[in-house]
A = this chain, B = another copy of it.
Amino acid sequence: MIKVGIVGGTGYTGVELLRILVNHPGVELKVITSRSEEGLPVADMFPNLRGHTDLKFSVPDTDALGACDVVFFATPHGVAHAMAEEILNTGTRVIDLSADFRIKDVPTWEKWYGQPHGAPGILPQAVYGLPETNREAIKTAQLIAVPGCYPTSVELGYLPLLENNLLPEQMLIADCKSGASGAGKAAKVSSLLCEVSESMNAYGVAGHRHLPEILQELERAADKTVNLTFVPHLTPMIRGIHSTLYAQAPGLEQDLQALYEARYADEPFVDVMPAGSQPSTRSVKGSNMCRIAVHHHKETGQIIVLSVIDNLVKGASGQAIQNMNIMFGLEEDMGLKQVALLP
């Protein structure tokens, strides 16, 4: 059994890690930390966990965390910077769900996050935890940077086109819609039901922190510069990201349906939908699946890719556990076979 610790389990990615891990047959939950909630049973904060775990929040402690095989960080950015190295030094592997190690270029990180990078020394060893591109590196990684939610859905949607160099130089457009859980559990007026429900709006049009991460990964796939306009939108639902991805490829004759199906044929958590499909986010609600449909208007050269995930599962905690399974040689889908809750 893999001994698991969680740093910062009071937010939505934290409870989602717990939801999955308490039923994961290869895992033993040992530690969950929260300075503010020390001593509180996690099931008192999250009643869905009643009967599933007796774990209590404890103050972060390197000895206790170092006794685990792997530690997940479900914390705001900056925390893993401060704590990861010490834990890694004990030989414990770290899977960071925050943005701390996603961006390889330190000045870029510092520009978008508005603070000095707290751990440039260990940044080079961080592996970007997108199994669909980095499975081999993940197997032996000591430090995983779990991709962001928007990046996961956008990257999986564009990868087959970029890896095969099918797109001319152009401005790609990713019009993305997210449920409110993407903003986390912080007490903000802008996240109140009365502010979010029965409404829709764009945000971050001038620039969003996920843009540099997406660009880094798209450029790695394309092996060239990529131009991208990324417009996130807030949608009145709890979970789900729907990315509508646009690209122009005048004259392209390739069978994109076949291309996508081949690219993801062996991927347990990418489902290429039948031609003509229009997946809904609820088809992945609570599951680790990414469902993708590719539309190709050959007469105009327009390609439209629809990519949906649950932002808290494949966009965060599920993907983190998928990484863990790969790192420890478990079946990649162990503990991750939940069927989406529909309706």
Contact = CB atoms under 8 A, between A and B. Distances in A.
Interface of A: 12, 15, 18-19, 22-23, 46-52, 171, 173, 175, 177, 179-181, 185-189, 191-203, 205-206, 227, 229, 231, 233, 235-240, 242, 244, 246, 248, 271, 273, 276, 278-287, 289, 291, 295, 297, 300-302, 304, 306, 308, 337-343
B191 A192 contact: yes
A231 B19 contact: no
B173 A306 contact: no
A51 B191 contact: no
Question: Which among A50, A187, A193 has the highest number of chain B CB atoms within 10 Å?
Answer: A193
A51 B285 CA distance: 15
How many protomers of this protein does the assembly include? 4
A283 B52 CA distance: 13
Given A192-B192, A206-B295, A229-B300, A199 B48 contact: no
A199 B280 contact: yes
Contact of A238 (B173, B193, B276, B339): B193
A196 B180 CA distance: 12
Given A12-B194, A200-B281, A276-B206, A244 B233 contact: yes
